[in-house]
């Protein structure tokens, strides 16, 4: 991609953030503030029941005497827990954003303005997908970093009050470079994993006359119901491949903390959660090796191509 194309794409990405500042900028910062405030309130309330904070400081001293591996697991687990709400809400915001992104341009007729500029429909559609896959995760990740630093600073204060070294007790076990690296990689892989869902929402947004989010849900729900009805009538059994179940499985699985690996085979639903609150390089790279990852990418390419075609034919009607 040439420098001019990159510059144009950057402007389009900034435009998306400018148009949705509350969802993309202030929401992650607000979540960070709530997590920090809740942590401080819990510590203040705990201090009221802990005479001179004796129990709390003794707990910090006992924590400092644990083996290094145990301290690392506890600290990194708490930091992942502090970011879990960010990550789950981010996916929800992205879903609603994509469902309305191309539809809103047609509804407020701003599509006429963009079509008058030397900006291709492909670039516009790609910018909205890149916003969902790159820009929004980057903004939420920055808020997560601020949350982690604030929590570690709070822990530093308590470590100093307990007379232990905060560097070896709090900061080194946090393994921030490794933790943040796996989170960045995990966010990219998660976006790739959800790409067919994202592309489907963009496709529906490119042509839906109204309420694209409901249409995006109603179509696979209707197909699923038809599949169930036909299977029950023809063979009194459940369908082997159900479109709605496959989409729900895709949406509920992945590499983010709290995601579940769901198996619908044999009519029995088996659920396994991803390593608790943790993300790991092994789990992230294992998703890249799954055939369904790249099948989903091919499906997403078809939906994106269709979204571009519908946008080219869009009018102010």
Among 193, 151, 154, CA closest to 290: 193
Q: Using the predicted structure, report yes or no on whether residue 236 has a pLDDT greater than 90.
A: no
How far is the C-alpha of 254 from the C-alpha of 186, rounded, in Å?
A: 9
pLDDT at 266: 44
Q: Using the predicted structure, report yes or no on whether residue 24 has a pLDDT greater than 90.
A: yes
Inter-axis angle of helices 27-49 and 54-64, to 10 degrees?
110
pLDDT at 136: 96
pLDDT at 48: 77
Q: Using the predicted structure, report yes or no on whether residue 281 has a pLDDT greater than 50.
A: yes
Residues 284/185, Cβ–Cβ less than 8 Å: yes
| Mean pLDDT value across residues 161-181 | 91
What is the pTM (predicted TM-score) of this model?
0.88
The pLDDT confidence band at residue 275, using thresholds 50, 70 and 90, is very low
Q: What is the pLDDT of residues 44-60, one digit of tens each?
A: 887 777 676 777 888 88
Q: What is the pLDDT of residues 57-104, one digit of tens each?
A: 888 899 888 898 889 989 988 898 888 889 889 999 999 999 999 998
Region of residue 275 (left: phi > 0; alpha: psi -120 to 50; beta: else): left
Q: Using the predicted structure, report yes or no on whether residue 107 has a pLDDT greater than 50.
A: yes
DSSP one-letter string for 166-235: HIIIIIHHH-HHHHHHHHHHHHHHHHHHTHHHHHHHHHHHHH-SS-HHHHHHHHHHHHHHHHHHHHHHHH
pLDDT at 1: 60
């Amino acid at each position: 991609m040439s420098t001019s194309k990159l510059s144009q794409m950057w402007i389009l990405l900034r435009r998306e953030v400018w148009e949705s500042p509350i969802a993309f900028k202030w929401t992650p910062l607000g979540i960070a503030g709530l997590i920090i405030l809740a942590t401080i309130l819990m510590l203040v309330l705990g201090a009221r029941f802990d005479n001179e904070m004796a129990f709390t400081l003794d707990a910090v001293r006992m924590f400092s005497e644990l083996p290094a591996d145990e301290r690392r697991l506890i600290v990194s687990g708490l930091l992942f827990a502090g970011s879990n709400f960010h990550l789950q809400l981010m996916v929800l915001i992205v879903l609603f954003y994509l469902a309305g992104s191309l539809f809103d341009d047609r509804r407020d007729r701003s599509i006429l303005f963009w079509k008058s500029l030397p900006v291709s429909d492909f670039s516009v559609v790609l910018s909205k997908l890149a916003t969902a896959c790159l820009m929004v995760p980057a903004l939420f990740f920055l808020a997560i970093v601020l949350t982690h630093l604030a929590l570690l600073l709070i822990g530093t204060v308590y470590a100093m009050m307990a007379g232990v070294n905060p560097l070896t007790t709090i900061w080194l076990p946090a393994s921030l470079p490794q933790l943040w690296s796996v989170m960045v990689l995990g966010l990219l892989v998660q976006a790739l994993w959800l790409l067919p869902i994202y592309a489907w929402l963009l496709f529906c947004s490119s042509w839906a006359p109204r309420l694209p989010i409901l249409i995006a849900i109603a179509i696979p729900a209707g197909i699923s119901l038809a599949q169930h009805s036909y299977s029950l009538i023809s063979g009194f059994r459940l369908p082997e491949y159900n479109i709605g179940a496959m989409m729900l499985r895709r949406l509920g699985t992945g590499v983010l903390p709290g995601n579940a690996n769901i198996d619908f085979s044999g009519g029995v639903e088996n659920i396994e959660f991803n390593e608790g609150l943790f993300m790991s390089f092994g789990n992230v790279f294992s998703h890249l090796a799954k055939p369904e990852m790249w099948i989903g990418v091919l499906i997403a390419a078809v939906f994106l191509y269709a979204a571009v075609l519908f946008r080219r034919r869009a009018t102010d009607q």
